[in-house]
Amino acid sequence: MGWLGLPGRRVALFHHLTAVFFFASLATALPMFVPAIAAWAGHREVFRETHVITGLLALIVGAASLTTLAGPGARERRTAFAAWAEADAAWMRSWARRLARPAYTGTGPNPGQRVAASAMAASLVVLAGSGLVLRFFSIFPLWLRTGASLVHNLFFYLLTAIVLAHIAYAAVTYLRPVRVGEADPQHAGQER
Amino acid sequence: MPRRVFLGLLGGAVVLGVAAPAIQSSLAGSVVGGAVGLDGYQIYTVTGGIPTFDPSTYRLDVVGLVEHPQSLSLDGLSLLGTDTLHATFQCVTGWQVPNQTFGGVTLARLLAHAAPLPAARYLNFYSFDGTYTESLPIEVAMGPGVMAVTHLDGKPLSADHGAPVRLFVDHYYGYKSIKWLSRIEASAKPVTGYWENYGYPADAKIG
């Protein structure tokens, strides 16, 4: 077993590569968006091109993790993320009440991870679409560029918030055995 | 639920995109407008930071196809008079800064002293950052909305806004408004602007 209880170390590699490209894209956005950093760093064109390339790579590699490129069981991975049942809704309500992860007895990603993954995927698609409008602005009308600017910035905030929450949850989960001296069997199984 | 979240966010993005111009108008001047990147200046510099200058040695040169080449100090520039222009700064990528007051000297006034020759069809502009260039047809440059700006909203330009002198071209996208201006050259041919080398149209008129 590997990433999120799904089989395959290659899936984990795709997941980490997506994270690397996402953070590279985030890092190169700052010198364009934050005036103080922009004034200090300069070289806007270099940052812009790197931002576009790494952002698109994050989307492409992230999408590829749901294909056979990331190993067998691609259909199961896609199904696992799209599936939803009444028990999942109850799990989410329980999570929303306590903001703590309830026990999850199913296999694969828990309902919270599935919702977060959907929001991340949608954000990446929206960021790529709006980013391409901004990159190739000359073929689009001004109102659409204004819309792309707004959407790109809002979804940047959304995606960053989800990713940071995701990392925080992952850190808490994986550091828990260090703290309490006892590992969750599912997570322990991933290390075998 | 995951499918609904995915499709809902895509739909939300489309609605936000279509409504953006109205949202931009309602957020003008607010903190939120700046936070979502629709309102307030974003600082663009194409070299390794903000270029510096010495006010005592700075000169704005007006050269090329002119009868009387000029080399104006900041004091010399201010002696030409003061023009004021209220306008919106519009970036080609969609953000804008409305209700700006630009102070300085219109190019019409500036060029009246230099007296361009009939062969001069373009004004080429050069920044002392050594990289940024721009050009305008002379009939556009001599219009009332084109100014060598020294003040923004009543205060001297700051370094990141192009101090001590930047161009402002009303009704044109911001990349025409070259910062850190140090040389204006009257010419029979336009220079290819810095951003135009990256595919930006030479004619940057809004609309």
pLDDT of B70 > 80? The answer is: yes
A145–B94 C-beta distance less than 8 A: yes
Over residues B94-102, the mean pLDDT reads 88
pLDDT of B101 > 70? The answer is: yes
Q: Which of these ranges, A6-10, B43-47, B81-85, B124-128, has the smallest mean pLDDT?
A: A6-10
B16–A154 C-beta distance less than 8 A: yes
pLDDT of B30 > 80? The answer is: no
CA geometry: angle B24, B26, B29, nearest 5 deg: 80
A33–B42 C-beta distance less than 8 A: yes
Report the greatest alpha carbon distance in chain B: 73
pLDDT of B109 > 50? The answer is: yes
B42–A32 C-beta distance less than 8 A: yes
> What pLDDT is stored for residue B151 in this prediction?
96
HSE value, Cβ hemisphere, 13 Å, CA-based, for B186: 28
> What pLDDT is stored for residue B153 in this prediction?
92
Burial class of B33 by CB neighbour count within 10 A (0 to 12, 13 to 18, 19+): buried
> What pLDDT is stored for residue A7 in this prediction?
53
Residue from B61, B92, B69 nearest B165 by CA: B61
pLDDT per residue rounded down to tens, chain A (192 residues): 444 555 567 788 888 899 899 999 999 988 888 888 888 888 888 899 999 999 999 999 988 888 878 777 777 777 777 778 787 888 888 877 776 666 777 777 788 888 888 898 899 999 999 999 988 888 888 889 989 988 998 898 898 899 888 888 878 877 777 777 777 666 666 655
B9–A119 C-beta distance less than 8 A: yes
User: Which among A40, A122, A149 has CB closest to B37?
Assistant: A149
- Where do the structural domains in chain A lie, given as residue ranges? 3-190
Over residues B40-49, the mean pLDDT reads 80
> What pLDDT is stored for residue A1 in this prediction?
42
- Distance between CA atoms of residues A52 and B153, nearest Å: 35
β-pair partners for B151: B103, B156
Residues of A within 8 A of B42 (CB-CB) are: 32-33, 35, 38
Q: Is the ipTM of this complex over 0.90?
A: no
Q: Which of these ranges, A142-151, B58-67, B131-140, B161-170, has the smallest mean pLDDT?
A: A142-151
> What pLDDT is stored for residue A3 in this prediction?
45
> What pLDDT is stored for residue A81 in this prediction?
77
State whether residue A96 is helix, strand or coil: helix
Q: Which residue of B has its CA nearest to A81?
A: B2
How far does Cα B38 stand from its chain's mean position?
A: 17
Q: How many CB atoms lie within 10 A of CB B54?
A: 6
Q: Which residue of A has its CA nearest to B201?
A: A138
- Distance between CA atoms of residues B105 and B60, nearest Å: 12
pLDDT of B169 > 90? The answer is: yes
Q: Which of these ranges, A21-25, B95-99, B134-138, has the smallest mean pLDDT?
A: B95-99
Task: Please state, in angstroms and as integers, the Cα–Cα distance from residue A41 to each residue in A99, A186, B48, B154, following that order.
Answer: 39, 45, 6, 28
- Distance between CA atoms of residues B153 and A140, nearest Å: 32
Phi first, then psi: what are they for B37, rounded to 5°? 75, 20
pLDDT band at B39 (very low <50, low <70, confident <90, very high): low
Does CATH number 1.20.950.20 belong to domain A3-190?
yes
Phi first, then psi: what are they for B72, rounded to 5°? -100, 130
Q: What is the pLDDT of residues A113-163, one digit of tens each?
A: 888 888 988 999 999 999 999 888 888 888 899 899 889 988 988 988 998
Q: Are B178 and B133 in contact (CB under 8 A)?
A: yes
Q: Which residue has the tokens 């990713």?
A: A163
β-pair partners for B103: B84, B151
Question: Parallel, antiparallel, or unpaired for β B60-64 and B181-187?
Answer: parallel
- Distance between CA atoms of residues B155 and A191, nearest Å: 63
Over residues B7-25, the mean pLDDT reads 88
Class of domain B40-198: alpha beta
A118–B16 C-beta distance less than 8 A: no
- Distance between CA atoms of residues B28 and A168, nearest Å: 35
Residues present in chain B in total = 207
Residues of B within 8 A of A129 (CB-CB) are: 13
Token pair for A44: 């806007």
Phi first, then psi: what are they for B186, rounded to 5°? -80, 130
Please give, rounded to a whole number of angstroms, the shortest distance from the CA of B85 to a CA of chain A. 23
